[in-house]
């Protein structure tokens, strides 16, 4: 008799897509996602300049672009940007934002693990906060290698959101304690409410990096996928400093103490 595997990768991908489709509604109201000051924008620009340089008309592919925060940063730097996401509510907001800001960014709906783009299309491939949620990162990295031009660069911006450092743990627990006793609105800064937080936990427990996306492990998989000159940059302090103004003290401290990083690699 034929058996059906009800917990296939397909189901997990569908759950991830549905989760982000709901999160799209409030995504841009949350600090750490959208940018709320010119200082923060400048700090992000500096990170991109440091690793992939000015655009000068070169092509960039922002994978899992969400509401296109990173696409706009690349557009600011003179890249011709294509953003891809698989959640239509995210893309709707991305298109509206580009229209409001008068930017001509191309948006595609698609799976970052299988983009359907031709070989050797892009000078730069970028993604922020995607790798931790990939179902099959090695296949995804091979795909990103494929769509890059020879000599092209990949920039991954991500973090380990599973294993908090001691400082992050203490700050997070204290913030949760204050929220519970009504001293502050934990939901506004921490993201989703209880139901979605449970969905998030459930998804996180089943993705490849369920134990946390440590930079060294991501870098090793990038090498396995064919990338060279893989460099880990954990100095995100300029960005965290500017973001802190939008968080209360404890939340800002918790974020800054997390293992967050950028990884640049070449084809």
Task: Give residue for tokens 């549905």.
Answer: 18
3-class secondary-structure state, position 89: helix
Contact pick of 32, 66, 137, 164 for ligand SAM (by CB under 6 A): 66
Sign for the pseudo-dihedral over CA of 81, 33, 24, 16: positive
Give dist(CA 259, CA 55) in Å, integer.
Answer: 28
Minimum distance from CB of 75 to ligand SAM (Å)?
14
Spatial contact of 194 and 222, defined as CB atoms under 8 Å apart: no
**φ/ψ of residue 226, rounded to 5:** 110, 0
Minimum distance from CB of 64 to ligand SAM (Å)?
3
Contact pick of 40, 75, 113, 254 for ligand SAM (by CB under 6 A): 113
Output the CA–CA distances (angstroms, integers) from residue 265 to 43, 146, 149, 255, in the order listed.
21, 13, 13, 25
Spatial contact of 247 and 198, defined as CB atoms under 8 Å apart: no
| Contacting range for ligand SAM; rule: CB under 6 A; set: 39-47, 105-113, 147-155, 253-261 | 105-113
Contact pick of 35, 52, 60, 64 for ligand SAM (by CB under 6 A): 64
Contact pick of 97, 129, 251, 259 for ligand SAM (by CB under 6 A): 129
| Contacting range for ligand SAM; rule: CB under 6 A; set: 4-12, 58-66, 167-175, 248-256 | 58-66
- The closest of 61, 260, 56 to 153, measured between CA atoms, is 61
Applying CB under 6 A, does 158 fall inside the site for ligand SAM? no
Question: Can you read off the two tokens belonging to residue 175?
Answer: 């913030």
Minimum distance from CB of 28 to ligand SAM (Å)?
9
Exposure string of 2-41, with b = 16+ CB inside 10 Å and e = fewer, is: eeeeeeeeeebbeebeebbbebbeebbebbbbbbbeeebb
Contact pick of 47, 52, 70, 222 for ligand SAM (by CB under 6 A): 70
Binding mask 211-240 for ligand SAM (x = CB under 6 A): ------------------------------
Applying CB under 6 A, does 85 fall inside the site for ligand SAM? yes
Applying CB under 6 A, does 94 fall inside the site for ligand SAM? no
Binding mask 161-200 for ligand SAM (x = CB under 6 A): ----------------------------------------
Positions touching ligand SAM (CB under 6 A) are 16, 20, 33, 64-66, 69-70, 85-87, 90, 111-113, 128-130, 133
């Amino acid at each position: 008799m034929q058996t059906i595997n009800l917990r296939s990768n397909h189901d997990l991908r569908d759950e991830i897509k549905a989760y982000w489709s709901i999160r799209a509604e409030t995504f841009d109201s949350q600090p750490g996602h959208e940018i709320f000051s010119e200082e923060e924008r400048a700090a992000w620009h500096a990170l991109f300049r440091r690793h992939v340089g000015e655009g000068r008309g070169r092509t960039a592919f922002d994978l899992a672009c969400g509401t296109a925060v990173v696409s706009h940063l690349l557009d600011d730097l003179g890249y011709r940007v294509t953003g891809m996401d698989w959640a239509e509510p995210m893309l709707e907001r991305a298109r509206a934002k580009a229209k409001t800001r008068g930017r001509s960014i191309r948006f595609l709906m698609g799976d970052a693990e299988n983009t359907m783009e031709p070989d050797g299309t892009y000078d730069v491939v970028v993604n922020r906060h995607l790798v931790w949620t990939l179902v099959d990162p090695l296949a995804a990295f091979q795909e990103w290698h494929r769509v890059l031009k020879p000599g092209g660069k990949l920039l991954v911006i991500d973090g380990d959101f599973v294993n908090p450092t001691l400082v992050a743990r203490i700050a997070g627990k204290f913030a949760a304690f204050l929220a519970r006793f009504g001293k502050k609105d934990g939901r506004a800064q921490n993201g989703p409410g209880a139901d979605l937080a449970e969905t998030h936990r459930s998804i996180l427990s089943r993705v490849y990096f369920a134990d946390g996306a440590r930079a060294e492990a991501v870098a090793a998989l990038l090498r396995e996928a064919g990338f060279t000159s893989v460099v880990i940059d954990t100095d995100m302090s300029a960005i965290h400093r500017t973001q802190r103004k939008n968080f209360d003290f404890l939340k800002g401290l918790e974020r800054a103490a997390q293992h967050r990083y950028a990884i640049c690699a070449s084809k």
